[in-house]
Structure 1
């Protein structure tokens, strides 16, 4: 079992594991699925993404091609115009699928490409030629960017390059060097990124909204939620929540996953109703829905998968209120499909009988209270009788039909509050 499957899965990181596997499945099926992981430092975002290179199956390329040309569809300036017979004569080879990184110190020339100095300074046969950078060399693979929010803030020129690479499917990159013809290349790859939005300069969606929109999903990485998970992490071995074996992400064809026509109609309605800014939002939802069905071993994708992936597609694009409204809409549709009147369980029948036992005595008590209270204790007018300021009939609330609105979240004990919340910084008016 590889290191990826030895990593501990807990409530804070399960979503990232799932999105990583969905992205690998998309890459194997010839599609891009860009993911970003946000969360507190030290929670394992980078570890999970770097270790996931174990999931990548090898690729077959034209022998010694630095651009990883597919023999069936060569795209690089060296091989794209060659006939099949010459490509066959060159031979093919199987190599590990690329997994490259872009660091904070990267330069545009190392990312895109530049003049190949080794060939230019060759004393026997000097030749002016291009050396592909990180992005062209990652064709058919993955590029990982750690602290992408810092990169977008400190290196805007690199962010502009990523906009071109992630803006279309497949992406594109243009290599320009003085004295050489401009080379434009299609690149098919997935971008994985991690960031710490609680630190300067802040979330990527606030720094560079256009770049954030290029990511199909954003996963919020959480802390371990149980003591046992922390114990297992410290021990360095997988726990009970880790999968028993490797997941084969190379089987199954994404193009064969059927999408119900009503799902596309629903996506269109969400786009119009909630005034979603980018069409990439609904396009990413459709891709994510099909990937979720593929990993689940299903032949079709529907509303259940849409409700599962929608929060990750929306996380970096719209407000929390909009996400809550959309999820409420989807859950309403989903539960409406699940509920069937003809299937009433014995548990439901017992619940109805219990409710009836409580309702009958309350109805009798309410009638007696309504007859006594208005005579002895005149009450202000209510919606049952009397206008504003007039005497009216008392309204007796039925506790079984009363909506109780709870606080949005439990109160935090004082001993768990951060220090800055315990100390008041307001000016003293008596000073």
Structure 2
């Protein structure tokens, strides 16, 4: 019987989310956190896909009874990190499901980070002041899912600060502080998955907390089903095809063995400088995502093809649509599209490439193409904003560069309504005579 994850319907609107979920799982199996975020309209299935993906996670082996999920070969918690391998062997090991925990909108700092263990403190036989690890320490080597993270970042800034530390380095870190107890600092290897509805209050995460948005390696813009049959299949709960990536837990090859070609690193450097990217995390995320795309495809080298697939996902929450369009034009030009620096490749190839990479970008390119075709169909208009074709054709029109257009200011500054003369005011009441 297929798992729920594989029974979910894939369509052009959600295929990118399936792809990055599988990339994040593959990274976690190699002890590499890979943080992902899904943005989109409510009811499109973001949370359903992410929660169902817990079925992809193979179990972990930990020191027996360790709430911090200590790896037997690399113990990190306050109780086990100073033990020898012989002492750990005496404690024994156990296999448990890989953690998949959630942080809710009502979560408190103590439940997320850690707090005093009240059960031990109030034990009448042997009262002991000890720490109880919170959601993040208990999710070590697993995944934390946060639904509506844009709301959480707005209403609980202290939790957003904790996530900045967890996601800022690899491995991340969390610090537990309680009065009367020594401060405990823990390394944590955990992937943060998040979903948000940017069209609702308080808005997109990148506008609420730009630093937190930048910590996500990739962001997927979740789209709606693009055909009637996809909706029919969703309602029927019927999958039309087998999963592309197969069993993530049985991937052949190692992420460490995937090589990044020197050409790709040079391209990433040029993208960072030539397109004015602010954060180095953007190019680092593109490199990591390219390696994961190659791993899932069974390839040993990450090249320009993989970079072109993942670039929009790593840039969606970091730069505007125009910059993404320009970068994708540059990448496509390297594979035989056009000369470097020019806007995207020819119509047919451009449409196919963008549709494969991101539904949102495909929609954007399609809109531009339709607008261009409409303008070219207009008769010659001698208006300030539109001029005829350079060859003088009557049926062709183009938009004039706004930087080369003369802007004429109004002759007089605007006046408040209270200072306008009576004859310039408009009223609904008929003018009274006599």
**Unmatched 5+ residue regions in structure 2?**
339-389, 400-424, 429-434
Q: Are the equivalent residues in 2 in contact too, given 1:8–1:241 (CA < 8 A)?
A: no
Give the equivalent residue in structure 1 for 2:210: 209
Give the equivalent residue in structure 1 for 2:299: 298
Give the equivalent residue in structure 2 for 1:182: 183
Give the equivalent residue in structure 1 for 2:173: 172
Deviations 1:100-125 (A, max 9, x none): 00000000000000011111111111
Give the equivalent residue in structure 2 for 1:235: 236
Distance (Å, rounded) in 1 between the aligned partners of 2:145 and 2:166: 13
Confirm or deny that 1:63 pairs with 2:96.
no
Question: Which ranges of 4 or more aligned residues in structure 1 deviate by more than 3 Å?
Answer: 240-251, 395-399, 402-406, 428-431
| TM-aligned CA distance change 1:403 to 1:186, over 3 Å | farther
> SS in structure 2 opposite 1:335?
coil
Alignment of 1:362-401 (within 5 A): none
Q: CA deviation at 1:252?
A: 2.1
Give the equivalent residue in structure 2 for 1:100: 101
Aligned residue pair count:
352
Q: CA deviation at 1:240?
A: 3.6
Distance (Å, rounded) in 2 between the aligned partners of 1:155 and 1:119: 29
Q: CA deviation at 1:246?
A: 4.0
| TM-aligned CA distance change 1:241 to 1:69, over 3 Å | closer
Alignment of 1:112-151 (within 5 A): 112-151=113-152
Q: CA deviation at 1:229?
A: 0.5
Q: CA deviation at 1:245?
A: 5.6
Distance (Å, rounded) in 2 between the aligned partners of 1:271 and 1:217: 16
Distance (Å, rounded) in 1 between the aligned partners of 2:60 and 2:397: 59
Q: Are the equivalent residues in 1 in contact too, given 2:165–2:172 (CA < 8 A)?
A: yes
Which of structures 1 and 2 has the bigger CA Rg? 1
Give the equivalent residue in structure 1 for 2:313: 312
Alignment of 1:410-421 (within 5 A): none
Using structure 2 for the length normalisation, give the TM-score.
Answer: 0.78
Distance (Å, rounded) in 2 between the aligned partners of 1:174 and 1:103: 20
> SS in structure 2 opposite 1:79?
coil
Give the equivalent residue in structure 2 for 1:387: none
Using structure 1 for the length normalisation, give the TM-score.
Answer: 0.78
Deviations 1:26-85 (A, max 9, x none): 000110110000000000000000000000010000000000000000000000001111
Distance (Å, rounded) in 1 between the aligned partners of 2:55 and 2:255: 21
Distance (Å, rounded) in 2 between the aligned partners of 1:319 and 1:335: 25
Q: Are the equivalent residues in 1 in contact too, given 2:253–2:295 (CA < 8 A)?
A: yes
Deviations 1:139-190 (A, max 9, x none): 0000000000000000000000000000001100000111111000000010
> SS in structure 2 opposite 1:93?
strand
Distance (Å, rounded) in 2 between the aligned partners of 1:210 and 1:181: 29
Give the equivalent residue in structure 2 for 1:52: 53
Q: CA deviation at 1:249?
A: 5.1
Distance (Å, rounded) in 2 between the aligned partners of 1:245 and 1:288: 18
| TM-aligned CA distance change 1:304 to 1:61, over 3 Å | same
Distance (Å, rounded) in 1 between the aligned partners of 2:51 and 2:255: 24
| TM-aligned CA distance change 1:239 to 1:54, over 3 Å | same
Q: CA deviation at 1:405?
A: 6.1
> SS in structure 1 opposite 2:276?
coil
Alignment of 1:74-89 (within 5 A): 74-89=75-90
Give the equivalent residue in structure 2 for 1:322: 323
Q: CA deviation at 1:336?
A: 5.7
Q: Are the equivalent residues in 1 in contact too, given 2:22–2:245 (CA < 8 A)?
A: no
Give the equivalent residue in structure 1 for 2:265: 264
Distance (Å, rounded) in 1 between the aligned partners of 2:44 and 2:156: 26
Distance (Å, rounded) in 2 between the aligned partners of 1:403 and 1:313: 37
> SS in structure 2 opposite 1:94?
strand
**Unmatched 5+ residue regions in structure 1?**
338-394, 407-427
Distance (Å, rounded) in 2 between the aligned partners of 1:404 and 1:56: 56
Give the equivalent residue in structure 1 for 2:365: none
